[in-house]
Amino acid sequence: GGAVADLTVSRPPSQEEKSELSEAVRRKLSMQEVRRSLPVYPYRQYLLAAIAEHQILIIEGETGSGKTTQIPQYLYEEGYTEKGMKIGCTQPRRVAAMSVAARVSQEMGVKLGNEVGYSIRFEDCTSERTLLKYMTDGMLLREFLTEPDLSSYSVIIIDEAHERTLHTDILFGLIKDIARFRPALKVLIASATLDTERFSTFFDDAPIFRIPGRRFPVDIFYTKAPEADYLEACVVSVLQIHVTQAPGDILVFLTGQEEIEACCEMLQERCRRLGSKIPELLVLPIYANLPSDMQAKIFEPTPPGARKVVVATNIAETSLTIDGIIYVIDPGFCKQKSYNARTGMESLIVTPCSRASANQRAGRAGRVAAGKCFRLYTAWAYKNEMEETTVPEIQRTNLGNVVLLLKSLGINDLIHFDFMDPPPHETLVLALEQLYALGALNHLGELTKLGRKMAELPVDPMLSKMILASEQYKCSEQILSIAAMLSVNNSIFYRPKDKVVHADNARMNFFLPGGDHLVLLNVYTQSAFSMQWCYENFIQFRSMRRARDVREQLEGLMERIEVDLTSSEGDYVPIRKAITAGFFYHTARLTRTGYKTPRWLIYHELVFTTKEFMRQVHQPAIDSTWLLEVAPHYYKAKELEDASAKKLPRKVGKTREELG
């Protein structure tokens, strides 16, 4: 395909800048030199002056200009953390929060967790001394529960605002509100060069501070015909670049861990076969669940003579900046959540990314020198098959969690909440209905005592209901283990390609007639966190360790919400009842020919990728009287009987309109 350069170059770099930057690539600059070489640096004083003058400021700058790592340090140097006040900076992704905090602690020469720390779900790496706190947007949202006016913060930076995650969108509304009665609070909305006018409009026309970008031209290449197998196409492209193109590292965008692992394996395998015929190629993956020591590897400078290829999820689109990238390979896909408000089903689907995403991806090739982006789709597809921008998450996700949180913050009128883009009415109503079914809201839509406790647990409402129900059924020890295992679930069982049969056999050994939740409990109990045991049973040791950490955290929270730790020992019935109490709302009826009676089963999460499948099927049939026992306000005996003869259980109680 011919080269189509459709990226605008905001300003051609001067000769001086060019040599300065290519220098920077070759020579290993000291950390302070790097800091001074960043695009934001010359604007330090102007930026601080603008922040002093305005309460809310929108900051726009190319990825890599230094927004995330530098601005909090400037504020710290300027005295914004005096009197023990903190500077908080949110990130939509856990990996970014951890990685950026680590970098900033290095730049400041302090131990991570002291003056600079991070907080992500189930992992708090901060201390009394922490002044610069990086955290996921979800964690800041939870902080409203304990500190509704965020009074310990002098500055809040909502970073990566353009990502428009659900939590970031909710933060917009809450922060805008508290800024009104906390005039001393500074609010910075930081974003890549996207959508900044909209942020300004939302925040009562707050001024926009633009950090001029330093961007080199990027040549864009398209394929002539669509690629049938984009994974294979990626591998081939990487190797082609490696053998034919000038030095410079490669960044490949894939949709998730499995794909990334497969791609890395294929690359390593082919390099092994080519042996010394080609120069060294360092293959490095990066995705959310990658252990942090492995994550750090992508930032290490490439040794001379070698080339680095980073295979990433869209975390590398704007959240992380990897220096030295000259080539980008973009298959044009991402994994996206979508939500069907009619069925209440949430799914993760691989879909074409937006044109805005594609352009961000291409931009990664032009940070340090002129670069090239290879799009593994046609120019026609770019123009006709991709959406202009990504739909904000709030419009394609289940809102149960967020509604519960807002209700516990005393925000009752959700319809009139200050949303930048409101969620679909249907979705909001469904969330209210689900919370009513779980007993978190009463028939007037008000938070119940149970609901208040549920909100304290940083997990989905169904999971928190299950945990709270374990008190009544006297099995909280077991339920906590199950909850912890569910939180790390997608990475527990290890299934290497060359040992599929062994792995599957090992898995069968954990089978219990009570269902998959019990299997998880079984694994948790048996493992005893022995590395040897995990290895022999094809269980990921790392995930088990993580499950243990999560469980410890949950145990700590139980004390706070005053739920006693109890054990049902070998009796599975109470455990299954507690599970039912949490997940009954997701009851599906299994009708098979040959069965006269209705079979109920419960699923934890319905995920579809290529085809629909049920995860965590709580098998086999649960007695329909259990449904009555766990949610009498929701099901009536008669309805259940009627439903046996018809389709799904019918809901009773308040109608949607009454709840909304």
Task: Give the angle subtended at the CA of 172 by the CAs of 140 and 90, to the nearest 5°.
Answer: 35
β pairing state of 208-211 and 86-91 = unpaired
Closer by beta carbon to Mg ion, 157 or else 429: 157
Least distance (Å) between residue 620 CB and ligand ADP:
49
616 binds, among ligand ADP, Mg ion, none (CB under 5 to 8 A by kind): none
Q: How many CB atoms lie within 10 A of CB 135?
A: 25
Least distance (Å) between residue 636 CB and ligand ADP:
55
Least distance (Å) between residue 40 CB and ligand ADP:
7
554 binds, among Mg ion, ligand ADP, none (CB under 5 to 8 A by kind): none
357 binds, among ligand ADP, Mg ion, none (CB under 5 to 8 A by kind): none
Closer by beta carbon to Mg ion, 67 or else 453: 67
Q: Closest Cα to residue 567, out of 619, 525, 622?
A: 525
What is the side-by-side strand order in the sheet with 325-330? 218-222, 371-375, 325-330, 249-253, 307-312, 281-286
Least distance (Å) between residue 104 CB and ligand ADP:
8
Q: How many CB atoms lie within 10 A of CB 26?
A: 11
Least distance (Å) between residue 90 CB and Mg ion:
11
Least distance (Å) between residue 81 CB and Mg ion:
20
Closer by beta carbon to ligand ADP, 321 or else 401: 321
What's the CA gap between 67 and 322, in Å, rounded?
A: 15
What's the CA gap between 40 and 391, in Å, rounded?
A: 29
Closer by beta carbon to Mg ion, 51 or else 414: 51
Among positions 9-38, residues that touch Mg ion (CB under 5 A) are none
Per CB under 6 A, the segment of 58-66, 147-155, 230-238, 541-549 that binds ligand ADP is: 58-66
Closer by beta carbon to ligand ADP, 72 or else 445: 72
Total number of residues that touch ligand ADP (CB under 6 A): 17
**Residue 63 makes contact with ligand ADP by CB under 6 A:** yes
Does residue 275 contact residue 302 with C-beta atoms inside 8 Å? no
First to last CA, the chain: 54
What's the CA gap between 645 and 596, in Å, rounded?
A: 10
Among positions 65-104, residues that touch ligand ADP (CB under 6 A) are 65-70, 99-100, 103
Burial pattern 593-629, b for ≥16 Cβ within 10 A else e, equals: eeeeebebbbbbbbbeeeeeebebbbbeebebebbbe
Among positions 103-162, residues that touch ligand ADP (CB under 6 A) are 103
- DSSP assignment of 63-87: TTSSHHHHHHHHHHHTTTTGGG-EE
- Residue 630 phi, psi dihedral angles, 5° rounding: -85, -25
Does residue 286 contact residue 212 with C-beta atoms inside 8 Å? no
323 binds, among Mg ion, ligand ADP, none (CB under 5 to 8 A by kind): ligand ADP
Does residue 602 contact residue 648 with C-beta atoms inside 8 Å? no
Q: How many CB atoms lie within 10 A of CB 288?
A: 13
Closer by beta carbon to ligand ADP, 68 or else 481: 68
66 binds, among Mg ion, ligand ADP, none (CB under 5 to 8 A by kind): ligand ADP
Among positions 295-334, residues that touch ligand ADP (CB under 6 A) are 299, 321, 323
Closer by beta carbon to Mg ion, 68 or else 314: 68
Least distance (Å) between residue 41 CB and ligand ADP:
10
Among positions 23-52, residues that touch ligand ADP (CB under 6 A) are 34, 38
* Residue 439 three-state SS: coil
Closer by beta carbon to Mg ion, 214 or else 551: 214
Does residue 85 contact residue 152 with C-beta atoms inside 8 Å? yes
Least distance (Å) between residue 484 CB and ligand ADP:
29
Q: Find the radius of gyration of the CA atoms of the chain.
A: 26
Q: Any idea how long the chain is?
A: 660
Least distance (Å) between residue 132 CB and ligand ADP:
13
Instruction: For 194-260, give the secondary structure using H, E and C.
Output: CCHHHHHHHCCCCCEEEECCCCCCEEEEECCCCCCCHHHHHHHHHHHHHHHCCCCEEEEECCCHHHH
Least distance (Å) between residue 508 CB and Mg ion:
46
Per CB under 5 A, the segment of 6-14, 61-69, 573-581, 610-618 that binds Mg ion is: 61-69
Least distance (Å) between residue 488 CB and Mg ion:
27
Q: Which of 68, 255, 295, 359 is in the footprint of Mg ion by CB under 5 A?
A: 68
**Residue 70 makes contact with Mg ion by CB under 5 A:** no
Find residue 234's DSSP bridge partners. none
265 binds, among Mg ion, ligand ADP, none (CB under 5 to 8 A by kind): none
Which residues have a Cβ under 8 Å from the Cβ of 513 and sit 6 or more positions away?
Answer: 619, 620
Closer by beta carbon to ligand ADP, 34 or else 110: 34
Closer by beta carbon to ligand ADP, 118 or else 377: 118
Binding site for ligand ADP (CB under 6 A): 34, 38, 61, 63-70, 99-100, 103, 299, 321, 323
Binding site for Mg ion (CB under 5 A): 67-68
